[in-house]
Chains A and B, each alone.
Chain A
């Protein structure tokens, strides 16, 4: 904030010539954590600079209206019916039953609790610059991150997207015939994250 105080000349003159507030200054003003001199200087600037004042006003309102985080706990009245349901399900499921995912869906369950990978298919080779990774969208998802690792677990490449498709760029160095592992992590709007299981893919010969 020192720069603002030093650059200012006579009171309330040529305010537009002074620099706009830094993000630190604006946020500190909103939080009320500045020294008196710094605060007074910022007040003088805000009285004349509409864009900075608007930023402070809008940010103040945004902070006051952030939606509350969703409740994480399970209500007690749901616990017993839920436990009974799980018990019934466990008793009814027999070994060797129907698989839970179609053959082309890998890396997770289709109920939204994990991310389901759709492509590449299990026997399809991984080709940098050609292979497109596709997965099923999560409800309320905001961002996905794809990670490809080599057999030793070292990260080879990562990409981020808000879409459910991402191409492996040509620059990724894949050794022909070698096995790699890929995983998709999804970020939800409530801040929680969900991952697919790690699936194996072989680089093209």
Chain B
């Protein structure tokens, strides 16, 4: 079995050394049929159902292969449709749209994917299907152009709130005057936290966001960020929170309470 690589508690990421990072990658992808080219790029074996579809010698073979491919993956595609659309009819519309998208131009998108597959077809299908669903949603209900910026600001705000909560810096105010003071100090706390978060390495900031904004489990984060185990994620999160608390103290912020 692959040994743990790197010590998250010491602040080193599991990718600190080339050899250890390679071990980690192999460990993470043990479920994927994986080989590697000479220049280090992973190559993933094409699933037989997709290979049959793209190599079909005749239209009727392609038709049969398409049905087999859809049958194999419709469960996952429908799962994505249900996650975006609440109503059955809309889910079915989205499902049909995704099939159209995949089938268009003689399965152009699937052919592009198959040219150098770097991931499992099921993972790729989830991402692509969700994008088609969201496009359909925007076509029907529209989206203000400034929405993305607003969402980013909301997410940042949410991260600050959640980190402050984790650091136990938010305290309830009781009187009206205390409320006004608390609001002011809350703003100061947010500014200080924003500065402290800006100083973090990208990888650490990403981990905090995945944990506190996206609510991913430590196990999911461990898989995504190539940590050997969820415990390494917990340890690293503790280190980061302690680091943020220290930065806030240096900036003169101890609590949101007046």
- Please list the residues of chain A having a beta carbon within 8 angstroms of any beta carbon in chain B: 11-12, 16, 23-24, 26-36, 39-40, 43-44, 46-48, 50-51, 53-67, 69, 142-143, 155, 160-162, 185, 187, 189-193
Contact = CB atoms under 8 A, between A and B. Distances in A.
Interface of B: 15, 18, 21-22, 25, 28-29, 32, 34, 40-42, 44, 59, 67, 70-76, 78-80, 83, 89, 92-93, 95-96, 99-100, 113, 118-120, 122-124, 126-128, 130-131, 148, 151-152, 155-156, 202-203, 205-206, 209-210, 213-214, 216, 220, 223-226
B224 A33 contact: no
Contacts of A190: 75
Contact of B74 (A56, A161, A187): A187
Contacts of A66: 75-76, 79, 122
B127 A191 contact: no
A48 B198 CA distance: 10
A57 B151 CA distance: 15
A60 B222 CA distance: 12
Contacts of A53: 206, 209-210, 213-214
Contacts of B224: 29-30, 32, 56, 60
Interface SS majority for chain B? helix
B76 A43 contact: no
Contact of B21 (A36, A47, A161): A36
A12 B199 CA distance: 10
Contacts of A27: 118-120, 123-124, 126-127
Give the interface centre of B28, B42, B72, B213 by most chain A CB atoms within 10 Å.
B42
A172 to B, nearest CB: 18
A150 to B, nearest CB: 15
A23 B202 contact: no
B47 to A, nearest CB: 13
A187 B78 CA distance: 12
A53 B70 CA distance: 28
A35 B76 CA distance: 27
B123 A59 contact: yes
Contact of A142 (B34, B95, B127, B151): B95
B42 to A, nearest CB: 4
The 4 closest A-B pairs by CB, nearest first: A162-B92, A57-B214, A32-B28, A47-B202
A44 B120 CA distance: 23
22 contacts: A27-B126, A28-B119, A31-B119, A31-B123, A33-B119, A34-B42, A36-B21, A43-B203, A47-B202, A48-B202, A57-B216, A58-B130, A58-B214, A60-B224, A61-B216, A62-B80, A63-B126, A142-B95, A155-B59, A161-B96, A162-B92, A190-B75
